[in-house]
């Protein structure tokens, strides 16, 4: 009787375990994630420049099937008092198994279908108006959101949405009580676009809107 090589047995075992995790993740009750989730306070994240991190607040909304809508407002200061602009996006969530960072943490692939931009500051508004080629198809107004799914805004790092080949981030989510955790950001400020870049640690959580901390 010919023996099966050990490495092949190991590969098959890992494949079966991964498939088991994917199937189990698909059976998670995603309705518990439904609702609005907001930042506890002003947050910062890497921007690629250690001396100039990005300051922001986040708001995520999920429905019971993990379809998503999010708005990130970026600020000029570490207290999040001077708003510059707000980036928004809609999309869907694909579950990709469990993440070992915490019991019940889910690997998620966020696939974006719509992209939005809103100038919240006169200086940023003037910058938008002066861009060539232009970002967006309409005239920009202070505090007015515009969809930029078709045009993107390459000067600011936002590519157009390709509905035939949806892209997004390979992230993770972890729910504990009324706290929703996403994966920690990459130190160079880039987005985790592959499984290899998927976060292995948690960032500061969001809280459910309407709770004591998430009263927004």
Please state whether beta strands 206-208 and 168-176 pair in parallel, antiparallel, or not at all (unpaired): unpaired
Residue 9 lies in a domain: no
From the list 21, 149, 155, the residue with the least C-alpha distance to 90 is 149
Q: Domain of residue 103: give its range.
A: 30-208
Q: Is residue 5 part of a domain?
A: no
Q: Is residue 191 part of a domain?
A: yes
In this structure, are residues 142 and 129 in contact, taking their beta carbons and an 8 Å threshold?
A: no
Q: What is the pLDDT of residue 5?
A: 54
Does 19 fall in a domain?
Answer: no
Number of domains in the chain: 1
- Is residue 21 in a domain? no
Query: Is the link from the previous residue into 133 a cis peptide, with omega within 30 of 0?
Result: yes
Distance CA 71, CA 61 (A): 9
User: Which ranges in 52-193 belong to alpha helices (H)?
Assistant: 122-129
**Is residue 22 a part of any domain in this protein?**
no
163 belongs to a structural domain: yes
Would you state the pLDDT for residue 91?
A: 96
**7 found inside a domain:** no
Per-residue pLDDT of the chain (216 residues; tens, 9 = 90+): 444 555 444 444 444 344 444 444 456 889 999 999 999 999 998 877 777 899 999 999 999 999 999 999 999 999 999 999 999 999 999 999 999 989 999 999 999 999 999 999 999 999 999 998 889 999 999 999 999 999 999 988 888 998 878 788 899 999 998 999 999 887 776 777 778 888 888 999 999 998 755 544
């Amino acid at each position: 009787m010919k023996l099966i090589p050990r490495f092949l047995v190991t590969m098959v075992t890992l494949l079966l375990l991964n498939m088991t995790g994917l199937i189990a993740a698909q059976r998670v009750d995603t309705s518990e994630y439904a609702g609005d989730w907001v930042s506890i306070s002003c947050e910062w994240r890497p921007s690629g420049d250690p001396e100039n991190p990005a300051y922001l607040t986040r708001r995520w909304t999920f429905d019971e099937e993990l379809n998503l809508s999010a708005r990130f407002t970026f600020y000029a200061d570490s207290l999040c008092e001077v708003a510059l602009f707000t980036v928004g996006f809609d999309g869907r969530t694909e579950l990709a198994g469990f993440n070992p960072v915490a019991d019940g943490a889910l690997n998620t692939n966020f696939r974006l279908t719509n992209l939005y931009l809103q100038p919240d500051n006169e200086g940023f508004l003037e910058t938008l108006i002066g861009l060539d080629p232009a970002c967006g198809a309409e005239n920009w107004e202070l505090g007015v959101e515009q969809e930029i799914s078709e045009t993107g805004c390459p000067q600011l790092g936002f590519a157009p949405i390709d509905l035939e080949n949806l892209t997004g981030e390979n992230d993770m989510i972890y729910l504990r009580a009324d706290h929703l955790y996403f994966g920690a950001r990459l130190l160079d400020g880039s987005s985790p676009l592959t499984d290899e870049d998927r976060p292995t640690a948690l960032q500061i959580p969001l809280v459910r809107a309407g709770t004591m901390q998430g009263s927004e």
